[in-house]
Amino acid sequence: MIASRLINEDILALNTHDDIEEARNRMDEYSVTHFPVVDDDLFIGIISESDIDDLENQELILQRNILRFDNYYVNESQYVFDVLKLASNQKLSIIPVVDTDGRYIGSITQRDIISFFSESMSVDYPGGVFILEVSINDYSLTEIANIVETNDAKVLSAHIVSKVNSAKIDVIIKVSKIDLGSILQTLERYGYKIVASFQENVDYEELKDNYDSLINYLRI
């Protein structure tokens, strides 16, 4: 999945002729703490809630001599894990997407990222998630699936996250069983290293907690 497929089309960027009050209203409207700014559709950067909170005059317009513009964005063709990595590393609530000419084409919110992972990891189905760290040469989804099935469960989804300068990968598995005890015990007997495990839930707030847990455990 590439960034352009995750764009929230409802989010229109702020312009350099908008004022601080408008910026604050937009952040409140979309429940975010950052917002993209453009000048004639060209992406200028993003501003943060903490920066505008320091300004008393709400009529000031969005200019570089007043505010800091951080140059955080993804290209429209970058993969979803690049979006996830940028959001995690810079603690962004919104990620601007630009084309090859630097023109703003839309934004992706944290909620959009969570929704994508909830769909791709079969969150609508009850079950649990565990993360394994394995050598790329030893990875076998067939073996993992067989272990899961011997414990009366099915693999609902599987994702691989590579590690920079490492022969290890993280394998994220969603299964159709909430109680993961027997599955994890069997995996350990087979020599698998279990990095994390938790139950999936369709409630947004709990899903957000699981999203944050994934960020921490994937260490990206």
CATH of the domain at 125: 3.30.70.260
Q: Are 169 and 84 found together in one domain? A: no
Q: How many domains does the chain have?
A: 2
Reported pTM? 0.60
Instruction: Report the pLDDT value the prediction gives residue 196, as an integer from 0 to 100.
Output: 83
How confident is the model over 39-93, as pLDDT tens digits?
A: 988 999 999 998 888 787 878 888 888 888 999 999 988 877 788 778 878 888 8
Residues 6 or more apart whose Cβ sits within 8 Å of residue 119: none
Per-chain mean pLDDT for the chain: 83
End-to-end CA distance of the chain: 18
How confident is the model over 119-172, as pLDDT tens digits?
A: 665 555 678 888 899 999 999 999 999 999 999 999 988 888 777 678 898 898
φ, ψ at 78 (rounded to 5°):
-70, 155
Last residue of a domain, one of 115, 146, 163: 115
Cα–Cα dist 115/145, whole Å: 25
208 pLDDT band, cuts 50/70/90, is low
The domain in which residue 176 lies consists of 121-218
Q: Are 169 and 200 found together in one domain? A: yes
Instruction: Report the pLDDT value the prediction gives residue 202, as an integer from 0 to 100.
Output: 43
**Parallel, antiparallel, or unpaired for β 128-135 and 193-199?**
antiparallel
Last residue of a domain, one of 115, 135, 169: 115
Instruction: Report the pLDDT value the prediction gives residue 218, as an integer from 0 to 100.
Output: 46
Strand order in the sheet with 42-48: 14-15, 34-39, 42-48
Cα–Cα dist 188/191, whole Å: 5
Instruction: Report the pLDDT value the prediction gives residue 2, as an integer from 0 to 100.
Output: 77
Q: Please state the rounded mean pLDDT for residues 191-208.
A: 68
- Sign, Cα dihedral of 48, 50, 51, 57: positive
- Confirm if 85 and 220 have CB atoms less than 8 A apart: yes
